[in-house]
Amino acid sequence: MSIHHGVSPSLLSGIWDALREPVLPLESLRVKETLKVCRQKAKRDGGKPFERYLNAVVFLAMRSDFTSKGHQELLRMLLSEQPWNNLLGLPEDLIARLAAVCVKLEMMGFEIDSAPFLRLDPAAGRVVTALFEQRLANRVGLIADTSAHQKLRTLRTRRGFIIQARLGTRLEPQRLDIYGPHYRHARDWMEALTTKGAWTLEFRDAAGYNPSSPPGASGFV
């Protein structure tokens, strides 16, 4: 399944900045622990402080400076039922709502594991089961500019997500396509990897990977 969002250039730039940076093991562990604390506190406190925990999860995902305007736009996108509504509506239950947001962020390629919410909270699991079961097999498109792109970068994350960025003349992101590790149509992203008859895939989390290195340097194949 493919899900597409129209986003502002500033939001797309912020998301691209966050997604292209390698995730260190310590960061991954901190994400897991923070999500665990959010889940426990949300379950204890009920639905009143939803925004506080939602903000914590979003800031955790972005891992970088982010404008207030961009933050609010991302929140609106995560809380909207469109175009996710074929799979999920936003429930009133706080745990289920946080789980839904985590699933969406995970589908966008962020270092977020939504499984703990669903394994440990049956109510949340019942609400988002359909989306959760498909979260690793979908394609999410974030589109800010539909004009012809000048360059293409394709990253593979540690968890197997493929992040393909179409960049403009100043290397600004025009469109991001994120493919889950179980996405069945690999040719959708592989066919675009044609530069002078060869294709290049960057392993974002490879040891010693430098995101500013040219193709052929350490961290590339």
List, for residues 199-217, the tens digit of each pLDDT value.
Answer: 578 888 865 555 544 444 3
Contacts (Cβ under 8 Å, ≥6 apart) of 198: none
CA 151: distance to chain centroid? 21
Strand partners, 6: 143
User: Of residues 206 and 102, which shows the higher confidence score?
Assistant: 102
- Would you say 10 and 66 are in contact if contact means Cβ atoms under 8 Å apart? no
Eight-state DSSP code of residue 111:
S
Is a pLDDT exceeding 60 seen at residue 218? no
Burial string for 136-171 (b: 16+ CB within 10 Å, else e) reads: bebbbbbbbeeeebeebbbbbbebebbbbbbbbeee
pLDDT of residue 213: 46
User: Of residues 212 and 170, which shows the higher confidence score?
Assistant: 170
Contacts (Cβ under 8 Å, ≥6 apart) of 69: 10
Model pLDDT for residues 55-87, shown as the tens digit of each residue:
777 777 776 566 667 778 888 888 776 545 444
Domain definitions of the chain by residue range: 13-134
Angstrom distance (rounded) from CA 147 to CA 154:
19
Angstrom distance (rounded) from CA 34 to CA 187:
36
The pLDDT-based confidence of 135 (bands split at 50, 70, 90) is: confident
